[in-house]
Amino acid sequence: MEKLQINIDNVLGFISEEEIYKYKKEIVNHIKAIHEKTGKGADFLGWVDLPSKVKHEEIEKIEKIAKSLKDKIEILIVIGIGGSYLGAKSVIDALSTNFRHLQKNSEYPIVLYAGQNMSEDYLFELVEMLDDRQFGIVVISKSGTTTEPAISFRLLKKHLEDTVGKAEAKKRIVAITDAKKGALRQMSEQEGYTTFDIPDNVGGRYSVLTPVGLFPIAAAGYDIQKILEGAKLMEKLTGINSSFDENPSAIYAATRNALYKSGKNIEILVNYRPKLHNFSEWWKQLYGESEGKENKGIYPASVDFTSDLHSMGQYIQEGPRNIFETVISVLQPNNKIAIPFDERNLDQLNFLAYKQINDVNKMAELGTLLAHVDGGVPNIIVEIPKISEQYIGQMIYFFEKACAISGYILDVNPFDQPGVEAYKNNMFALLGKPGYEKATEEIRERIM
């Protein structure tokens, strides 16, 4: 298996190699703390050696249950929010055809999502669409009481039971939750749902390589063992015995933090493949929720090129010079199609006749990189040979490890998210949730 490569040549005109290597000793210590689980948030470092320690029996169970479920249904609804769905969605979208939702007679179910919003129109239209479809549910929540997924599960569970009966509905619901406690664990035991455990020592945004991500991915028909193989290779390459110079996560973390120190406080993740759009969404949650604390952190943004060159390209080229780009560069497509010759040549494209479209896309990628660097935007390149289970697995672990290192460089806990509770407390007070009476009174006085 080839490995992910990182190239920082296009940042060296903005910061020096010496500025990057200033972080070497510190990062070596941070990696040691990560692997020995002695740093901030040590209780949530279970993801670090997960690829090499995942039990074969658990993978077999995931694959077995996924197969039995897909034989009953044509649509699988994954209910979750944040890391409870973004990881699975990012991988499924990356590995699927761009038009999977339009395929007929597919061997595997179409995967749709709920619990990631509270839009009444979204949920009404989802329920309406499911009226004449065979569907199942994977509900993912450690507590079972997170508002958005809990509302969606209550609604869709009732619809499934009304459609196929309670006995059959139980066979079509899989719960991924806390091993011992919480409302969803209690409900699962009472109802007899098939369950998988969310490890206590793995937080949501680092959970894609646990059943949280692996079960939906397997149910969609993708090889989770190959994903874990890729992650396992990256675990080794970024491990405690890897030298700084050969550790891609260390180099990435050092470079982005050196750029941050120089005033580049916005990082834009760039892709040239529409399939990677939701990988960027997963990346944004990973870095935004991990680093954005104590008035610190690089703001994570993303663009889909070449589409967004016709919208955000102007800003990136000539806007404020506080940004840098990290480009996911995929060398080869999984399919081939060439540009045809046209005798009339009214569009004046015959100079491209017989070329693969990927060749044109790669020249757009190179041309954009040169233009942006010339325009004052440093570029880090993360290169993979192609989009496949193994390379997606490598990228997941690569970005997770670099994120943990970056959090430690900032001296924040990269595994908690205290700021997320602020909106929840206000929402519960406004809704009159029991126990929030004082807050309800205070917030109503404030908005009157």
- Annotation marks residue 296 as catalytic: no
Q: H or E segment at 113?
A: strand 110-114
- Residues 220, 108: contact at Cβ < 8 Å? yes
Backbone angles phi and psi of 238, in degrees to 5 = -110, 15
Report CA torsion sign: 332, 333, 334, 335.
negative
Nearest residue to 47 via CA among 409, 399, 293: 399
- Residues 394, 234: contact at Cβ < 8 Å? yes
- Out of 55, 310, 336, 438, the active site residue is 310
- Annotation marks residue 424 as catalytic: yes
- Tokens 């960027």 locate to 280
- Out of 67, 294, 424, 442, the active site residue is 424
Measured distance CA(140)–CA(146) in Å, rounded: 10
β-pairing, 194-198 vs 135-140, is unpaired
115 φ/ψ sector (left φ>0, alpha ψ -120 to 50, else beta): left
- Residues 401, 238: contact at Cβ < 8 Å? yes
Nearest residue to 281 via CA among 98, 97, 84, 86: 86
Q: Is 219 exposed, middle or buried (0-12, 13-18, 19+ CB in 10 A)?
A: buried
Q: Residues 6 or more apart from 76 whose CB is under 8 A from it? A: 69, 70, 109, 110, 111, 112, 135, 136, 137, 138, 216, 219, 220
- Out of 289, 325, 365, 400, the active site residue is 289
- Residues 371, 309: contact at Cβ < 8 Å? no
- Annotation marks residue 310 as catalytic: yes
Beta bridge partners of 301: 268
- Tokens 């967004």 locate to 308
Q: Is 56 exposed, middle or buried (0-12, 13-18, 19+ CB in 10 A)?
A: exposed
Measured distance CA(315)–CA(301) in Å, rounded: 13
Measured distance CA(210)–CA(84) in Å, rounded: 10
Backbone angles phi and psi of 438, in degrees to 5 = -65, -45
- Residues annotated as catalytic (active site), given as ranges: 289, 310, 424
